[in-house]
Amino acid sequence: MAQFKTTEVQPFGVILAGGLARRMGGGDKALQEIAGETALARLARRLAPQCAGLALNANGDAARFAAFGLPVVADDVPDFAGPLAGVLAGLEFFAREAGEAALAVTVPGDTPFAPQDLVARLTQAQAEAGAEIAVAVSGGRVHHAVALWPVSLRGALRRALVDEDVRAVSGFIARHSSVAVDWPVEPYDPFFNVNRPEDVKTAEEIAKFA
């Protein structure tokens, strides 16, 4: 297993790919090919230089992601509890590997064009606002699963998920101090996500200049 050390310079990164991909018709949205490269490969290439280390949250047979060389962390909350379960899995992984003082950025695996200043801007905004969580925004839309989290929130998150059945990422974030960080949507929305088959064509157009 990869070894990680707590760093005050760079947060860690968690790619969320544990969903059921119902709108895509099942399968792994992160493995959808976009102009000859999977969404996951594109995202990992953008995110890795910004982070002290990456982990992939995914359920089922981890072998299908072996080519990416990332530690694969499954949900331990049953019944596909949604992206919050993936956030929890990532926070708990980095708590074990890097310690409670770590920070982690989460990005859905179907978001292949995440900005190259994502981690820097989220980290700066969180520090300047004195907030617990920093969340990405674009085009007036809050992307709650694209966020910077303190690993130390993992206990509160587990209680919310397991004891209170909180499922919405927005609902959990609303319980804590947060700051929103806005990105422009021109020439493209950096948080465009490939949710449906028809989104692949749009993503391939973006990939020509992203």
Counting residues of the chain whose pLDDT is more than 90, the rounded percentage is: 86
Domain assignment of residue 91, given as a range: 12-207
Q: Is 1 contained in some domain?
A: no
In a domain, 66, yes or no: yes
103 lies in some domain: yes
Q: Phi-psi bin for 3: left (phi > 0), alpha (psi -120 to 50), beta?
A: beta
Does a structural domain hold residue 7?
no
- Band of the pLDDT at 122, cuts 50, 70, 90? very high
Q: Using CA atoms, how far apart are residues 18 and 88, in angstroms rounded to an integer?
A: 12
What CATH number does the domain containing 23 carry? 3.90.550.10
Classify residue 21: in a domain, yes or no.
yes
Identify the helix (H) or strand (E) that includes residue 33. strand 33-34
Query: What is the Cα–Cα distance from 1 to 12, expressed in whole angstroms?
Result: 16
Q: Is position 6 within any domain?
A: no
* Higher-confidence position of 80 and 6: 80
Question: Looking at the domain assignment, is residue 177 inside a domain?
Answer: yes
Note the pLDDT of residue 16.
Answer: 97
Q: Which tens digits make up the pLDDT trace of 133-170? A: 999 999 999 999 999 999 999 999 999 999 999 999 99
Segments in 79-192 forming alpha helices (H)? 83-98, 118-129, 154-158, 169-173
Residue 5 lies in a domain: no
Look at the chain and report how many structural domains it folds into. Answer: 1
> For 5-23, what is each residue's pLDDT tens digit?
444 558 999 999 986 544 4
d(CA 30, CA 83) in angstroms, rounded, equals 14
